[in-house]
Amino acid sequence: MNIKITKASKSRIHSVDMNDIPFGKVFSDHMFIADYINGKWQNFEIKPVENLSLHPSNLALHYGQSIFEGMKACVTDAGVPCLFRPEMHSKRLNKSAHRMCMPDFPEDVFLEALHKLVNIDSQWIPPQDGSALYIRPFMFATDEFLGVRPSEKYKFIIMTLPVGPYYTEPVSLKAETNFVRAIKGGVGEAKAAGNYAASLYPAKLAKEQGFDQVMWLDGIDFKYVQEVGTMNIFFVMDGVVVTPKTDGAILKGITRDCIITIMKDKGYKVEERLVNIEEILEASSNGKLQEVFGAGTAAVVSYVKRIHYNGHDINLNVNNFKMATLAYDTITGIRKGTIEDKFGWLVPVEVMETV
Ligand code: COI
């Protein structure tokens, strides 16, 4: 693939304290950018991160045709920069694109762009435990047009950011009984920007009431757990790992998939099924609810210390969380190369000379 590369004349890395990186605010030197014009992806380029220039009628700004991915690169203890499950992210990006009536981005270009971009900015991968290079591929409409129809032109960009942990403390959740994130047939399974915009107001109310995040319930009965603001959710009840089945309204998390795979591999019983919030309440009151944790690329594994539902509180002792710790340690161990990558999730970044 012909990717034009223009390198920054001077890296900004020396102005960054890698031991204290606020999530989402520090960007590495370069980005990948491409245009979809006349039915074809073209103008593949890696260049220094710069502002975009958009016409005010940009279709994405008005009608929300915008999707993204969240993935990570890490460096093993032996110093090898690696991508984590890049093909799976490429496939999920294209599923989101399909749902939002946007063009596929070719997987071979996606992978080559990732390798080249992370290779150029490999010194931006923080080696500290719990840190990584967060990778944000995203696609948005670029037609200059006011009217509801799919855009004919798009941009696809990949940015990278050194990050520490998304949540530094266990979180408290409010099970939401008024607002809905997604219903079957909607766009809940797509990583569409609008899903996150729609979550902001309920999340703001939950924060005002002292919670860190909203736990979404289904939009029909307000009974079945879906996911948490930025993560999928897992429960451990009576030694069984349980997570809501993905039914079209829940994001098919890649960390979720890692945890299911790891737990099954360790011989634990894993159930993907409908999870009624009443069942969680009952398991809590009869002592069967052992752990609750969230899973996401940004959050990795995040312990849940409290769930509030309809006047009831479920409190959890995070110090006893064995499965959540096993999940976190296994994922981070694989990323560091200290645990065998028997599932083939790590892809070493191809080292190439870039002038
Ligand atoms: C991720 O976990 O990568 C996400 O996309 C969540 C985002 C809110 C940081």
Kindly tell me if the per-residue pLDDT of 110 is higher than 90: yes
Q: Which fold has domain 171-321?
A: D-amino Acid Aminotransferase; Chain A, domain 2 (3.20.10)
Q: How far, in Å, are 111, 125, 339 from residue 11 at the CA level?
A: 24, 14, 33
Contact (CB, 8 A) for 139 and 93: yes
Which of 23, 230, 231, 259 for mutating ligand 1's site (highest number of atoms within 8 Å of CB)?
230
Who lines ligand 1 at CB under 6 A? 70, 230, 296-298
Confidence of residue 195 (pLDDT cuts 50, 70, 90): very high
- Name the average pLDDT for the chain: 96
**pLDDT for the residue 323:** 97
Segment 284-309, tens digit of pLDDT: 999 999 999 999 999 999 999 999 99
pLDDT of residue 64 exceeding 70: yes
62-87: average pLDDT: 97
Reading the block at residue 112, the tokens are: 């080559």
Residues of the chain with CATH 3.30.470.10: 4-165
Looking at the chain, the domain(s) classified CATH 3.20.10.10 span: 171-321
Residue 138 CA to ligand 1 centre (angstroms): 12
- Whole-Å CA distances, 35 to 65, 139, 177, 245: 15, 10, 42, 36
Mean of pLDDT values over 56-71: 98
Q: Is the pLDDT of residue 344 over 90?
A: yes
**Is residue 274 over pLDDT 70?**
yes
Pick the CATH number of 4-165 from 3.50.50.60, 3.30.420.40, 3.40.50.2300, 3.30.470.10: 3.30.470.10
Cα(230) to ligand 1 centroid in Å equals 6
Burial 314-352 (b: 16+ CB within 10 A, else e): bebebeebebbbbbbebbbebbbbeeeeeeebbbebeee
pLDDT above 80 for 355:
no
Atom of ligand 1 nearest to the CA of 191: 5
Ligand 1 centre from 301 Cα, in Å? Answer: 12
pTM score of the predicted model: 0.96
Confidence band for 79, pLDDT divided at 50, 70 and 90: very high
Give dist(CA 232, CA 170) in Å, integer.
15
- Which helix (H) or strand (E) is 119 found in, with range? helix 107-120
Mean pLDDT on 204-220: 97
Distance CA 186, CA 127 (A): 39
Residue position matching structure tokens 């799976």: 88
Amino acid at 234: F
Q: What's the gap in Å between 313 CA and the centre of ligand 1?
A: 27
- How far apart CA 64 and CA 297 sit, in angstroms, is 23
Reply yes or no on whether the pLDDT at 335 is more than 90. yes
Distance 77 CA to ligand 1 centre (A): 25
Q: Nearest C-alpha to atom 3 of ligand 1 is from which residue?
A: 70
Atom of ligand 1 nearest to the CA of 255: 2
Question: Average pLDDT of 214-236?
Answer: 96
Instruction: Please give the distance, rounded to the nearest whole angstrom, from the Cα atom of residue 92 to the centre of ligand 1.
Output: 14
